[in-house]
Amino acid sequence: MANIVAIVGRPNVGKSTLFNRLVEKRQAIMDDESGVTRDRQYGYGEWTGKHFTVVDTGGYVEGSDDKFEGEIRKQVRIALDEASVILFMVDCFAGLTGLDQDFANILREVKKPIYIVANKADNNERSFMATEFYSLGFEHMFPISAVNGGGTGDLLDAVVGHFEMEGDESPMEGVPKIAIVGRPNVGKSSFINALLGESRSIVTDEAGTTRDSINTHYKLYGKDFLLTDTAGIRKKAKVKEDIEFYSVMRAIQSIQDCDVCMMIIDAERGLEAQDMNIIGLANKYNKGIMIMVNKWDLIKKDTMTADVYRKQIYEKISPNDFIPIIFTSVTNKQRIFQAIELAMEINDNRQLKISTSKLNETLLPIIERQPPPSLKGKYIKIKYITQLPTKTPTFAFFCNLPQYIKVPYERFLENKLRKSFSLTGVPVKIFFRKK
């Protein structure tokens, strides 16, 4: 069994704060508002040479009719099922509550190591107050302060004592990352759930349901991927709450960290200004890009509908017509696996290495037939082409007068590169250097 530590408890006891301390990064969003965390969040920690997975969960509230809390309860139960060790978090300052007692009744049915973690024990008085939690009937209790780390060492000593394996330091190291991005309520979480066949992310009709960026390991056709479900990205002027601000920041960070950016748009609303901003962001960071038009089943169609729709998108995003477009319906599971196949192809294209001889054999005859326009009576001669050792396709053209080559001819060369080699969905960088 893998080394998995699940952090559970009622809302607003500091679960995400402890999660961030154990994974040693600000991965989960923290706020004084109750119920910030909704989906399961995974990270990786290490203590005394043993590596483990940490799972952050939403606050468990029994008997609530709130649509989010019902889904959160399902997410918590999944985390309990897959955990090796369970950390039941409570709040020293607030003391023992009815919600703590209700959740303790649920945990008594779980036959796994359970530790009560009494958070906010920032001084001796509060540590002494934590003793009341022994009344919940669990043998082990650790007063800690998740904010400053007090007491977490003793807790981790006890936790890793249950792990027979040292675990993997970075189990997702080198695995391609696909970020699922777009405006709120276009179907990003539904897409993840449809691929996995399970409720990995909470889905409702309310925009802004997803807050953290949720990573999920996914395997298709023998290839591993890390799918990242992100919060919907709205215009800055429309972001009013701190939590949404941090959610958008996490989504932008996911674009920076990914290999392929899969942008989902609503077929009924079409490509909007914010979608174009997201494309610009992915381009800026040299990421592979594709557009997935979701809810295609809601569009009245004839034989030309898809072609007309595709043409309208390309007119808006020009000159980025290298971005492939796929039409899907997540609810009907229409072409969702083809969308992942396309993302896999784009990831391969992003890593494409073309030999110098192949580049010169292919492009120099084209350049000879259509050389750069002369300027001020001076003729430009491109003599040599090579691919630079970068993460994304980048090419250097060596010539006698690089300063005289204009943007239209640069685009001409880019188009010839794309026509000659597999570069669909990948931004291409071209530099001109003096030979």
Per residue in 305-350, pLDDT tens? Answer: 899 999 999 999 888 889 999 999 988 989 989 999 999 999 999 9
- Span 56-71, mean pLDDT? 69
pLDDT of residue 94: 86
Q: State whether residue 68 is helix, strand or coil.
A: helix
DSSP one-letter code for 301 = -
Local structure of 205: helix, strand or coil:
coil
Q: Which helix (H) or strand (E) holds 217?
A: strand 214-220
Write out pLDDT tens, residues 235-267.
Answer: 544 444 444 455 566 677 778 888 999 999 989
| CA–CA–CA angle 60, 64, 65 (5° rounding) | 130
CA distance 67 to 222: 37
Whether the predicted pLDDT of 431 surpasses 80: yes
In the predicted model, is pLDDT for residue 126 greater than 50?
A: yes
**Adjacent-strand bridge partners of 399:** 382, 434
334 secondary structure, DSSP code: B
The fraction of the chain above a pLDDT of 70, given in percent, is 84
Angstrom distance (rounded) from CA 255 to CA 278 = 9
For residue 319, whether the previous peptide bond is cis, meaning omega lies within 30 degrees of 0, is yes
- Residue 97: DSSP 8-state: -
- In the block, tokens 């009245």 appear at 300
**Residue bearing tokens 């997935």:** 292
C-alpha atoms less than 13 angstroms from C-alpha of 67 in its C-beta half-sphere: 6
Cα dist. 12→28, 58, 62, 150, 304 in Å?
13, 9, 15, 19, 53
Classify residue 261 by burial, with Cβ atoms within 10 Å: 0-12, 13-18, 19+.
buried
- pLDDT, position 312: 92
Report how far residue 316's alpha carbon sits from residue 325's, in angstroms, rounded to the nearest whole number: 13
Q: Is 117 helix (H, G, I), strand (E, B) or coil?
A: strand
Name the more confident of 301 and 309: 309
Half-sphere exposure of 370 (CA within 13 A, CB side): 8
Q: How far apart are CA 256 and CA 253, in angstroms?
A: 5
